[in-house]
């Protein structure tokens, strides 16, 4: 499986995304579409970006009863996305149902990745709000193992957790890692960060990079820098 840089297209409107993608004349970056853009612009945004030749990670983080997730995944699969995700907290049966829904009649399907514990959840919140009393990293690894047991392709995690996920779940189990910043760049609201180069060293399979590319003075140059450090 080839390593790639996925650009988080966190723009509020279709116009802004296309204005951004139009900057890329030579390459067709892999893009991540999140809830804001999908709910605002509708499923057509996926079809249009796909038509322009980009690969798409649709980041909608599904979590519901197995049958509902299965039906929803069938719709996402027909949108021809390349990667989508769900919450591992929905249980192994929910993840198995999701895979079933995602698999097309010809046996092909988008990659399916699980969110373990959101990076916004602290140990304290997990214990007090969710009554989960195990250490956070143990919970993350347990959810990753559940995702693997259900047949999923990998997890979204911090680049700093990628190595451990590979040790626990095998090197072919994908790690998709946000929280990437260039050396000397603006950290913003991310806390546990790493550079593209370091993410490569640790063994991330895909890095998700938003503002260091989308807010750069020259987004194409920033994208090329990320590719040069992470992929090449
Ligand atoms: O702009 P930035 O590089 O921080 O964007 C990272 C992207 O990855 C955003 O779309 C953010 O929502 C997403 N993400 C994250 N941390 C997670 C899961 C998703 O930053 N744990």
Question: Residue 1 above 80 pLDDT?
Answer: no
Q: Kindly report, residue by residue over 103-159, the tens digit of the pLDDT.
A: 999 999 999 999 998 888 889 999 999 999 999 999 999 999 999 999 999 999 988
- Give, in order, the Cα–Cα distances in Å from 99 to each of 112, 127, 191, 207: 7, 30, 32, 23
Q: CA 6 to CA 187: how far, in whole Å?
A: 18
**How would DSSP label each residue in 154-194?**
EEE--HHHHHHHHHHH-TTSEEEE--B--TTS--TT--S-B
Q: Pick from 93, 61, 89: which is nearest to 76 by CA?
A: 61
pTM over 0.85: yes
**Nearest alpha carbon, ligand 1 atom 2:** 210
Domain ranges of the chain: 4-230
| Residue at token pair 């499923």 | 43
What residue has token string 């840089």? 5
Q: What distance in Å separates the CA atoms of residue 219 and residue 80, rounded to the nearest whole number? A: 26
Predicted pLDDT at 60: 98
| Ligand 1 site, CB within 6 A | 8, 10, 34, 118-119, 156, 178-179, 188, 190, 208-212
49, two tokens: 């970006």
Closest atom of ligand 1 to 211 CA is 1
CB 71 within 8 A of CB 46: no
Mean pLDDT of all residues belonging to the chain: 95
Q: Which of these is catalytic: 3, 14, 61, 164?
A: 61
How far apart, in whole angstroms, are the C-alpha atoms of residue 155 and residue 111? Answer: 11
Distance (angstroms) between ligand 1 centre and the Cα of 106 equals 33
Q: Which CATH architecture has domain 4-230?
A: Alpha-Beta Barrel (3.20)
């Amino acid at each position: 499986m080839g390593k790639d840089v996925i650009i988080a297209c966190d723009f509020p409107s279709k116009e802004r995304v296309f204005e951004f993608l139009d900057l890329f004349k030579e390459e067709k970056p892999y893009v991540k579409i999140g809830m804001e853009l999908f709910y605002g612009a509708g499923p057509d945004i996926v079809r249009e970006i796909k038509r322009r030749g980009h690969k798409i990670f649709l980041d909608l983080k599904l979590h519901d009863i197995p049958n509902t997730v299965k039906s929803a995944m069938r719709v996402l699969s027909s949108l021809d996305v390349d990667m989508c995700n769900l919450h591992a907290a929905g249980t192994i049966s929910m993840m198995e149902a999701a895979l079933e829904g995602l698999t097309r009649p010809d046996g092909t399907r988008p990659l399916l990745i699980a969110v373990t514990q959101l990076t916004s959840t602290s140990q304290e919140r997990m214990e007090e709000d969710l009554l989960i009393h195990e250490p956070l990293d143990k919970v993350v690894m347990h959810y990753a193992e559940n995702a693997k047991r259900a047949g999923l392709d990998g997890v979204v995690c911090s680049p700093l957790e990628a190595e451990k996920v590979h040790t626990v779940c095998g090197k072919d189990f994908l790690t998709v890692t946000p929280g990437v910043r260039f050396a000397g760049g603006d950290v913003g609201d991310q806390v546990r960060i790493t550079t593209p180069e370091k993410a490569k060293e640790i063994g991330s399979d895909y890095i998700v990079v938003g503002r260091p590319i989308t807010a750069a003075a020259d987004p194409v140059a920033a994208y090329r820098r990320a590719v040069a450090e992470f992929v090449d």
